[in-house]
Structure formats: C-alpha cells, structure tokens
Structure 1
Amino acid sequence: MATTLSFTVTRSARELRPLSDIDDQDGLRFYRSGDGPPLLPTDAGAAAVDPAVIIRRGLADALVHYYPVAGRIREEEPGRKLVVDCTGDGVLFVEADDEVSLSDFGDVLCPPFPCYQELLCEPDGRCAAVVGRPLLFVQVTRLRCGGFVFGLQICHNIADAAGTVQLLRAIGKMSRGMPAPTVSPVWAWELLMARSPPVVTTHGHPEYDDTAAGGNHDMFADQPFVHRAFFFGPKEMSALRDLAGAGARVSRFDMLAAFLWQRRVAALEYADDDEVRVMFVVNARARMVSPAPLPAGFYGNAFAFAVAACAVARRGASARCRSGTWWARATANGYVQSVADLMAQRGRRPRFGRAARTYLVSDVTRAGFEGVDFGWGEGAYGGPAAATLATFHLTVKGAGGEELIVVPMCLPAAAMERLEFDLQTWLNH
C-alpha cells in the first residue's frame, strides 16, 4: 500500500567564526602564494606512490580539525567586518603533471621560480578577492623525475606564515597516516578583537599613516617590473659586519635589511629630502598581546609592524639616509591590542605599507616551510614563489651545501638594473 510521507526537519544554524581585528585588515585581503617544497622520493618504491592521492587524503583529514578553512568569508555591515561562514564547502585541489625535472630549476632553488604561476592553480589577478571564495587552493604537480611540487595559495585573513606552516605540518602528518595533528588547532580569535570602546594607545601606529613616505601608490605604475634574487653567504655577511663596525650589536636580519634598504633607495632615485621607510614584521605569538598570551595552536594572524623612517640625502648619483626616526614599539606590551582597536576605531580599516616609498620586508628564515614532510622527507625548498608586496629573507642551500640568505626583490626594470650594478660593485670590493 503506497503512503505519502511528509515531514519537516529542524536544521542547526551554520557556525559563524568572526575574524579578529588583526586578521581583518584591508592589507591582508589577498591570497599569499607559496611554491611549496619540490620533493624527491626517498627510494624507488616511493616513486610508484602518487603524491597527489596521498596529499589529497591528508588534506581532507586535516580539514576535519581545521574546518573553518573549508568555509567561506562573508563581509558584514557596518564596518565591512569579515566572518568565516563554516559552510564546509571545501577547498580547491588540483593535480597536474609537468615534463620538467627538479634539476631544471637550477642548482639553487629559490624565488622567483620560472613559470611559477603554472604551479599555482589560481591566477594572481584574482588574489585580491576573498569574499565568497575558497580560502585554500592547492596544486600538486608531478615532475618527470618522480618528485613533485606542492603549490599553495591561502587567504591571508585566515592565517599568517606561522599559522600556515602549522596547517601544512598537520596535512603532512596526516598524509603519513597519523590519526590527528600533533598540535591541536585553536581558534581564539576573540583574544585579538578590539576593545569596546576601542582605546588606541599613544603608540601612534605610523605603519598605517597613508600620508607619509609618499602617498602616490602608482608612481611606478607605467614601468615594467622584474624579479631578481640576491644571495648573501658567509663572506658577504662578514663584510656587512665590518660595515656595521666593531662591537655593533645588531641582528643578522636588521643588518641585511638596513643595507638593502639603503641600496634600494639609491636605485629608485628618490628626490633629496624625500621621506623613505622600512617596515618589517614582528611575530607577536610569544608576547603579551592581550590579557593573556596566545594559546599554542593558534593559527590566525599574530604580528605587528616595526617602522623606521629617514630623509634621503643625495650626493650625485648616490643616496643615503641622512637622518632617521625608529619606531620599534611593535614589541611593546599592548601594541597588538592597540592595532586591533585602531582597525575598529577608523572603521575603513586602513592598509599597511601602501606608501610608495616604503620597503616592506619579512624574515621567514625560521618559518619552517622547508621542514614540512608529506612522506618523502623534508622539501628541497619551501617558501614564497616570488616577491610581490613584500620582500622576504629566506635560507637556502648553495650549490656547495653552504647556507645562504636569499632576498628576492621586485622592482621597476631600470631601478633593478641600477641595484644589480650597485650590489655587484659592492660584492666585488
């Protein structure tokens, strides 16, 4: 006997995860592109295992724990506040094959990689749109030699470099058959929310001052840009130490960043008395950023910017920093909380580092990208595919096995030619 069944179900509401006011910066509304580690199988048997199959399974298992990454970002009014709608719509995964071998990329693997966009499944032109799109794009490209490239693009609003490495390690461990990540992911975005009412401290936050250091963001818009990488081994770093002076207590990063900032200023031929800036990222994870430290497993954005500024003094074709003011307060207790309050107070969510005469540089020599293991051992390289908005300091192995600091840069072609000549002259002396 046929029956007609009619019923109504009650569905639970989807989970909404508000992003913190540190994540919710206009300057982070893009996808950071990483040419993940090109890897070689450790033995002949491993070569018969399809890395795309293994990694896809590990990625699916990791997303059970990192389920917000499988959601979509929504923008809410007022204030264009971003939230993650935990829809479970998933991430984009692509398998690909290439007839090149790992050796074709050269003796030293470093950005800019040739044809790197072929190794990423999402065109760079769409990287500025984050609302309603997958938060993670992954492409595994099998190489002729049996190795593979893991290409990653992740929405910067959801994770910084440390958080991305944490996610990659989870994917790697679960690709190797582990039942759960070693470090359990923690959301805890509320710890970096603005206070009510917002209370911006006296830090000033010059990193968000859009009027200083040249407000014309398009001053080089009509010029072709080129990518180059510059290498600094023990000999070059020793020479930099000599330049710094005997007994100078300065970190390797600060020393190299200051030197390249000055040479970059000269290459770009700014006018006399122009204000120029250098801005770099400070990791806030180990610092008091709120009433309590961030918990282990937090994978959102947890950083602030330190800024220095000076006036250009030209002498013929050269340039130097004549007088400077340093703003290193990014390490101060309460600084990150003050940044969150600034985001909420201004409403329009100011961008960082947009000024035309600002050099934005980040140290990822200890980020750990190259240490990710999907089952074939550590990567031959791990890190950014190219330099774009920021310049990075990376650690790579030279042809002889020595450790090198590589600094990829992207500059107008004429300025890059001047910079290359300047650095070559300096290195030869």
Structure 2
Amino acid sequence: MQTTINFNVVRKNPELIAPSKPTPHEFKALSDIDDQEGLRFQIPAIQFYRRSLSSKEKDPVKVIRDAIAKALVPYYPFAGRLREHANRKLVVECNGEGIVFIEADADVSLHQLGDSLYPPFPYLENLLHHLPATAGIINSPLLLIQVTRLKCGGFVFATRLNHTMSDAAGLVQFMSAVSEFARGHASPSIQPIWERHLLSARNPPVVTCTHHEYGDSTPSDEINMVDRSFLFTPVDISALRRSLPPHLRDCSSFDIATACTWRCRTISLSLNPEEEIGLSCIVNVRKRLNPLIPEGYYGNAMVYPAAVTSAGRLSTSPLQHALELLRNAKSQATWEYVKSVADLMVMRGRPCLKTRGIYLVSDVTRAGFGEVDYGWGTAEYGGPALCGIDLVPGVVSFALPYMNAKGEKGIRLTMSLPPNVMDKFINQVQKALVDARKSLVIRESAL
C-alpha cells in the first residue's frame, strides 16, 4: 500500500514551446475515430528517471525543452489548436502556437517516492501541475509537459495529452522522437504520418456491426472511489492458465488477468443476476487490419469491442466463460468493424462510450512508455499516471507491464471501486488464485 509523501515543488511560470523552425499554417481534420465524445478529455502519463553518470553534467530540463521544440517541427499539429466545425467535427488549426511546458524542482529523491513506482501516485499534483486555463479540448494547448528535477539527479517527465490527438502508441511515438532529438539525432527514426482519412467514415456511412460499447453514458452515482493496483505474478498467471481447458491455454497473460479481474469485480459489485454487463478491451488495430495502417500513424487507432453477458452467468461460471467472451469480442476488431465505428460516429452525433454496466480495460503493457530514453536510460516507471479516468470513475482499468528478477512477465492491473466493494474485490482475487492452484493440484494428482 502506497502512502502519501510530503515534499515541496518549486515551479517556474509555464511557457509555450513552439516548433524550432517554421511549420505550415493549415487545417487538418481528425479522423472519425479520433473525435468521438469518449476521447474528448485530457489523459495524464508519467515517467520516472534515475540519475545517470554519463549525463551528470546535463540539465534534463534544458535538454528536453530543446528536443521538444525540434520534435514539434515534424509533429507540428501538436503545436496547434483544435477547432470544432459542422457536425461536431474536430479540426486542428496548425498555427505553431506551441505546447505548454513547466520547469520544476522537487526537494525529494527518487528513492523517497517509494520502492514501487506505479499508480496511484498520491503526489501526482506535485509532478503534473493542473492549469485550468489550458485544460479544455477546443482552442486549448494539445499537450502540457512538466519536467521536475529531483535532488538525487533524477527527474520526472509528466505529460497531459488531449486524447483526441493520439492514443498511447501515438503519444509514445512522439515521446520517442523527443528522446531521439535529446540524444543528438538529426531526425526521428520513425517519420510521423497524419493520414487521418484512413479511419474516417465512408460515404455514405453505414453501420454494419453491433456496437455494445456505445450506449448509456450516465455518470455513476458513486464518486467516493478507492484506487489500487493488483499484481498478477508470473506464478499467478501460470496457475490460472494451467487451470483452463487446453484450447484456452494459449491466451495472453493480459487476457487471463483481465478475464479474472472482470469476473471478480462483477461478483464484488453484487449486481442483480439478470443485469446485462459488458467487458470492453481497447484493441490497437495498427497491425490487425488489411491493409495495414502505415508505420508512423500517431492518431487514435483503436476500437472497443465489448463482450456481453449477465451478471449472474458471469459470476457463477468458471473463468473459462469470461475468457471465451473476451477472446470473441477482441476478434471482432476487423477493418469492417473499424469503419462501422467511424460511420456510427457520423450518423449518431459522435456518441460517448457506454459507462453503465460496462468495464473497460486498456492494455498498455506493450505501449513502450518505460522504454523511452531521453539520455538518462530507460524509465523506472513509464505509463498512465492515474488508475482510471476521472470523468468515469470506476469504469476504466489499465494493464501495466511487470517483470520479475528472472525476466518472467506478469501483469499489474489498476482498479477503482467504492471502499466496501474494494475489500470484497481483494478477497475475490485472492480466492480465484487459491482456487486455481487447488484445481491444478487436483488435476495433476489425477494424472
């Protein structure tokens, strides 16, 4: 359990970083996947870096500030502002105004922030300053970055992104470009590609698939949430996997941990057995489509296909049931499905994702936040800065990468739940893992 840490941060006044060279003044339309209501919010990410002997004479703030200005030349839309046109269509005015940058110093060392760097971060507001005047979606800066020097020589890179511009993969692509300029490269190894028309609606639009993920977006009445993250170790994943029937044992660690979490969460909520519930996993479609989305595309290239069942059926069925539903839902993420989502946005006024009766999990285990190297090595932690999404408390979880000393991979899943439900959820997860080990022992003893 993480505890609150008190430390002081001294910030300089926010500044705007513009591209280091002149860039085109033009208007670029977002895709119809980008500008849906469910992505019109700011999402924070954070990276922690240790002191590097090879970079001890360098100031991370200056290095990163200069690198951002260079990266904003090829990524010049990030330096612009969103405008809303007819039918709520979002368009970037590429005007070179720049992104918000904050320089800060903290009187704390990295080791004082705790041995385990993962959300929830009780000190996040110190490392990512909230500027209400810049927090809008329309006519506001598209990125806010705070770089905070630590007294040990390390630093923290925290950013807040207008989610309509990019998904996790797109943000990491931009960060990687900044890191390459910071390390002295003349240009990014991956050139950015706009091409947002690839994920826009057809003419005429036609919804050809069933989209359980869009529907009732009434906010939850529960606002008092507890944030936690839960580790599924390699041993836990192995036990769950080996307790499954043979045809499901090739499932990914993410699928197994997510299916287990969905089932435990549903039991803990004590829902009406007849209530319809859903699990929606964000699917990155960059390498799933034919033709492939070109390398360098940094827009939102994801869909949210949902598995649907009843609370009673999920709660009383074995893990196998949840896992089969999850796999079937993810398999829907075809080119036709993506186009159907885009068409749905245009035909129905860009509706919001469903938030009632659904649980949404975002897999960032392979997004690469932790691999970005600004010249101080890879991050101690890189990824989401929150356990969920503030706008829809208790709906969204993140799957974070974990690796033990042996190099074996597990999963860390964040969770936000009401306090009394969180206690039940912890017990359900522990019970699921114990039951999986018992099932394994029984099965092996019968051989």
TM-score by structure 2 length?
A: 0.84
Letter in 2 for 1:27: G
Q: Could you say which residue in structure 1 is the equivalent of 2:99?
A: 91
User: Deviation of residue 341 (structure 1)?
Assistant: 0.9
1:163 correspondence with 2:165: no
- SS of the residue aligned with 2:213? helix
Q: Please say which of residues 391-400 and 179-188 is displaced more in the overlay.
A: 391-400
CA contact (8 A) 2:211 2:305 kept: no
Match of 1:179 among 167, 186, 207: 186
- SS of the residue aligned with 2:73? helix
For residues 388 and 13 of structure 1, the distance between their equivalents in structure 2, rounded to whole angstroms, comes to 36
CA pair 182-216 structure 1, distance change in 2 beyond 3 A: closer
CA pair 122-399 structure 1, distance change in 2 beyond 3 A: farther
For residues 102 and 403 of structure 1, the distance between their equivalents in structure 2, rounded to whole angstroms, comes to 24
For residues 159 and 90 of structure 2, the distance between their equivalents in structure 1, rounded to whole angstroms, comes to 22
CA contact (8 A) 1:107 1:398 kept: no
Letter in 2 for 1:406: R
Task: Give the alignment of 1:140-159 within 5 angstroms.
Answer: 140-159=147-166
Task: Give the alignment of 1:1-400 within 5 angstroms.
Answer: 14-35=25-46, 37-43=47-53, 46-77=55-86, 79-122=87-130, 129-201=136-208, 203-210=209-216, 216-221=218-223, 224-248=224-248, 249-288=250-289, 292-313=291-312, 319-320=315-316, 326-346=328-348, 348-354=349-355, 356-389=356-389, 390-398=396-404
CA pair 169-351 structure 1, distance change in 2 beyond 3 A: same
1:413 correspondence with 2:422: no
1:284-331 superposed Cα distances (whole Å, 9 cap, x missing partner): 112336xx43221110011112211111228xxx94359886544532
1:51-95 superposed Cα distances (whole Å, 9 cap, x missing partner): 011000000000011000000001112x11110011111000001
1:234-259 superposed Cα distances (whole Å, 9 cap, x missing partner): 21112211332345342222111111
Query: In terms of Rg, which structure is larger?
Result: 1
Unaligned runs of 5+ in 2: 1-22, 390-395, 436-447
For residues 402 and 205 of structure 1, the distance between their equivalents in structure 2, rounded to whole angstroms, comes to 36
TM-score by structure 1 length?
A: 0.87
CA contact (8 A) 2:280 2:306 kept: yes
- SS of the residue aligned with 1:374? coil
For residues 330 and 404 of structure 2, the distance between their equivalents in structure 1, rounded to whole angstroms, comes to 33
For residues 232 and 139 of structure 1, the distance between their equivalents in structure 2, rounded to whole angstroms, comes to 31
- SS of the residue aligned with 2:130? coil
Unaligned runs of 5+ in 1: 1-11
Letter in 2 for 1:38: F
- SS of the residue aligned with 2:381? coil
Q: Please say which of residues 13-22 and 53-62 is displaced more in the overlay.
A: 13-22
CA contact (8 A) 1:18 1:84 kept: yes
CA pair 32-103 structure 1, distance change in 2 beyond 3 A: same
CA pair 273-219 structure 1, distance change in 2 beyond 3 A: farther
For residues 236 and 119 of structure 1, the distance between their equivalents in structure 2, rounded to whole angstroms, comes to 33
- SS of the residue aligned with 1:180? coil
Q: Please say which of residues 63-72 and 333-342 is displaced more in the overlay.
A: 333-342
Q: Please say which of residues 329-338 and 381-390 is displaced more in the overlay.
A: 329-338
CA pair 336-235 structure 1, distance change in 2 beyond 3 A: same
For residues 408 and 171 of structure 1, the distance between their equivalents in structure 2, rounded to whole angstroms, comes to 28
User: Deviation of residue 353 (structure 1)?
Assistant: 3.3
For residues 239 and 395 of structure 1, the distance between their equivalents in structure 2, rounded to whole angstroms, comes to 19
CA contact (8 A) 2:99 2:144 kept: yes
Identity of aligned residues (%): 41
User: Deviation of residue 343 (structure 1)?
Assistant: 0.6
CA contact (8 A) 2:51 2:152 kept: no
CA contact (8 A) 1:41 1:146 kept: yes
User: Deviation of residue 279 (structure 1)?
Assistant: 0.2
User: Deviation of residue 187 (structure 1)?
Assistant: 0.6
What count of residue pairs does the alignment treat as equivalent?
400
CA contact (8 A) 1:305 1:330 kept: no
User: Deviation of residue 271 (structure 1)?
Assistant: 1.4
User: Deviation of residue 40 (structure 1)?
Assistant: 1.3
1:189-242 superposed Cα distances (whole Å, 9 cap, x missing partner): 1111212211221x11221133xxxx6532324xx1111010111211122113
CA contact (8 A) 1:109 1:396 kept: no
1:80-119 superposed Cα distances (whole Å, 9 cap, x missing partner): 1110011111000001111221112322221112211221
